[in-house]
Amino acid sequence: MRGRLQLKGKRLSANDNLNTVIRPMTFMCVANTHLIGRIAGLSRYVPFRKGIQMNELFSILVKPTGAYCNLDCEYCFFISKDQVLPGDPMMSEETLTVFLHRYLDEQPDGDVTVAWQGGEPTMRGVSFFELALPLAEQLARPGQRIRHVLQTNGTLLDDRWCRLLAAHDVLVGISVDGPAELHDRYRVNKAGRGSHTSVMRGWHLLEGYGIARNVLCTVHAANESHPLEVYHFFRDEMHAEHVQFIPIVERVDEAHAASAENCWRRTDGSRILYRQAGRHVTSRSVNPVLWGRFLNTIFDEWVQQDVGRVFVQQFDVMLGNMFGQYSLCVHAPQCGNALVAAHNGDVFSCDHWVEDEYRLGNFLHQEFREMINTPRQHQFSSFKQNLPDDCLECSVRWACQGGCPKDRFSPDLNGTYRLNYLCAGYRSFFQHAMPAMERMAQLIDNGLPAAMIMDEIATNDTSFFDIDTMRKEGRYEPIPA
């Protein structure tokens, strides 16, 4: 497929809703467009919710505890950001009030997402959120509806937390990397012990209170070769219906390689600041080819058994891109409207770029619109569109859009270091999934549920998978080694 699909002769617009024909739930994303839905999203991702179509002018991840966290995950890029955000990491009630006033004042009517993240946001304490959640709802204009989302490791949740989250219909994303033996390899507490048992306790507490919840799973060296083990754990053991897979890419330069392998610590135990610099990765990082294989393997099971029952962000995003509906900044043509607000009011270009040169200002003294419309942020937004020739000529550019700029440090055909580190995996997945995705798009185009593809596969009606036909139509090209 090249270009965008036309839905019954017209391009899908922001007023059309794919959710009615694809599925009853939508992704929520920090991308500029929220047409398939709403996140955490993120390149740092946040949870996604059913039936919401967002119209925010920009998205904010607010961090009420800065980089402070009770876990010590070995691959965490954010825990060292206390060097950029010094001082007390806890957001004051006064700062909270200013944030909510300013953020809601600058958002249009309709559903407005307030996305809480960290660090670990629950370390701010339940009493802070007992103030924050109702305050946001009180400050909303009559035409606004507040949608709270919380991304957490889940280890500190208890009954008091769950009563609050349930009362305010908070969507909760839980970070879990699969079954215990895979999760506990890197997601450890301050004592170096695995966190899986505590995370599962939090998940089941949420389940008992009927709280909407998602799984956010990072894919790395420990679980990249176990796609079905991970997927089956989420689907069959946790009964998760909504899953996001995030590739771990720990970028590092030669000078800091040893410290990076030592969980970003020097020999004296002090941390080095994680920066988006260098052309190497740590041993914990996902292998690009295995990243593609991970997605392909899960996709093959999903498309045969779980369409309409389990919602995987990467699959929904690809299908949305086929209709020109870009719901995730990673695979959208542009980014730059997904900001981060720290506990002290500092605002940064993106969650992955909390560095001094990407500090846009402070919401205690400036409007968010003012900070978005600075030359610095315009330059940041241009990173996304500065694609190498490899991308411009790629048959799956419409789906990939070059990926996240933070991962563009591999050599391209011209010898410059602008190609996405994950390119081999992305190309493998998008080409592998394309025949089935095109078939689901055709079903949608004819007013039929995408889940009908499972019946077609079950009865061996899989002519849409024919590689020779795809080659003739220019929809297929081999993945280079």
Confidence check: pLDDT of 118 > 80: yes
Distance between CA atoms of 132 and 213, rounded to whole angstroms?
20
Q: How far is CA 367 from CA 136, 222, 364, in A?
A: 18, 43, 8
Rounded to an integer, the average pLDDT of 307-330 is: 95
88 catalytic? Reply is no
- In one letter, which amino acid is 242? H
Confidence check: pLDDT of 51 > 80: no
Asked whether 89 and 119 are in contact (CB, 8 A), the reply is yes
Distance between CA atoms of 131 and 332, rounded to whole angstroms?
35
Burial 443-469 (b: 16+ CB within 10 A, else e): bbeeeebbbbbbeebeeeeeebeeeee
With H, G, I as helix, E, B as strand and everything else as coil, classify residue 226: coil
Confidence check: pLDDT of 13 > 60: no
Q: How confident is the model at residue 475 (pLDDT cuts 50, 70, 90)?
A: low
Q: How confident is the model at residue 12 (pLDDT cuts 50, 70, 90)?
A: very low
Q: Which residue has the higher pLDDT, 95 or 381?
A: 95
Distance between CA atoms of 24 and 18, rounded to whole angstroms?
9
Distance between CA atoms of 471 and 432, rounded to whole angstroms?
13
pLDDT at 472: 62
Q: How confident is the model at residue 413 (pLDDT cuts 50, 70, 90)?
A: confident
Distance between CA atoms of 391 and 412, rounded to whole angstroms?
9
Q: How confident is the model at residue 464 (pLDDT cuts 50, 70, 90)?
A: low
Mean pLDDT of all residues belonging to the chain: 87
Confidence check: pLDDT of 195 > 60: yes
Catalytic residue among 306, 346, 351, 390: 351
Instruction: Kindly report, residue by residue over 227-236, the tens digit of the pLDDT.
Output: 999 999 999 9
pLDDT at 463: 63
Whether the CA torsion 77, 79, 83, 85 is positive or negative: it is positive
Confidence check: pLDDT of 149 > 70: yes
Q: Which of 49-58, 62-71, 166-175, 458-467 has the lowest mean pLDDT?
A: 49-58
With H, G, I as helix, E, B as strand and everything else as coil, classify residue 175: strand
pLDDT at 57: 73
Q: Which residue has the higher pLDDT, 48 or 473?
A: 473
Share of the chain above pLDDT 90, in %: 79
Whether the CA torsion 420, 424, 425, 426 is positive or negative: it is positive
Rounded to an integer, the average pLDDT of 81-97 is: 95
Q: How far is CA 210 from CA 80, 243, 289, 385, in A?
A: 35, 17, 38, 42
pLDDT at 19: 39
Q: Which residue has the higher pLDDT, 476 or 389?
A: 389
Report the alpha-carbon angle 25-27-30, nearest 5: 155
Q: In what order do the strands lie in the sheet with 213-219?
A: 311-312, 242-247, 213-219, 171-175, 144-152, 110-116, 59-62, 338-341, 346-348, 359-362
Question: DSSP 3-state helix, strand, coil percentages of the chain (rounded to 5)?
Answer: 40, 15, 45
Distance between CA atoms of 372 and 226, rounded to whole angstroms?
41
Confidence check: pLDDT of 16 > 60: no
Rounded to an integer, the average pLDDT of 270-299 is: 96
Query: Which bin fits 42, alpha (ψ -120 to 50), beta or left (φ > 0)?
Result: left
Q: According to the per-residue pLDDT averaged within each range, which of 169-183, 314-328, 366-380 is highest?
A: 169-183
Confidence check: pLDDT of 238 > 70: yes
Taking the model in full, what pTM does it have? 0.88
Topology at the third CATH level for domain 19-249+285-472: TIM Barrel (3.20.20)
